[in-house]
């Protein structure tokens, strides 16, 4: 699988660990993140990863900052992105299965590398179930399109 990864200065080590972990499993990783600890702005990397997923250059995306929160919020501003910040594998799997999420985010200052590995595995290995979830995912898309009225 071809996976985009992006990070800010707070998550260089975590990004490098996850990148190698996934490459060792045979995945192709496209690095859109910073490789230095010099202060930078996470929206830059959120946009690059989100654009690569929306354009289908990459199948899925992984975003990492200090908490995962800011970078996921920024990614969700890109039309067609459903990014979820997760700190454990159960939610990571369900966000793919129920929400058809295409980007996972987590915090390098929140979780360790072993937990990050289990989150990434759960996310990548899960598949969107559609069915009863499709109506809600369609509603999310309608909100994004400005077509959803309550």
Which residue of the set 17, 58, 86, 98 is catalytic? 98
Catalytic status, residue 98 = yes
**CB within 8 Å of 6: residues ≥ 6 apart:** 15, 31, 32, 33, 45, 46, 48, 49, 61, 62, 63, 64, 71
Helix (H, G, I), strand (E, B) or coil at 81: coil
Q: Which residue has the tokens 């699988």?
A: 1
Which residue of the set 9, 27, 58, 65 is catalytic? 65
Query: Which residues carry out catalysis?
Result: 65, 98
């Amino acid at each position: 699988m071809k996976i985009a990864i992006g990070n800010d200065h707070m998550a260089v080590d975590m990004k490098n660990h996850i990148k190698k972990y996934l490459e060792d499993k045979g995945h192709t990783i496209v690095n859109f993140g910073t490789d230095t600890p010099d202060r930078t702005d996470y929206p830059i990397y959120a946009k690059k990863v989100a654009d690569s997923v929306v354009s289908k250059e990459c199948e899925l995306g992984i975003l990492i900052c200090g908490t995962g929160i800011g970078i996921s919020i920024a990614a969700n501003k890109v039309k067609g992105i459903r990014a979820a910040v997760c700190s454990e594998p159960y939610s990571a799997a369900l966000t793919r299965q129920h929400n058809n999420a295409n980007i996972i985010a987590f915090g390098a200052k929140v979780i360790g590398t072993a937990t990050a590995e289990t989150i990434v595995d759960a996310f990548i290995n899960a598949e969107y179930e559609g069915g009863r979830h499709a109506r809600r995912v369609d509603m999310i898309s309608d909100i994004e399109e400005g077509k959803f009225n309550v």
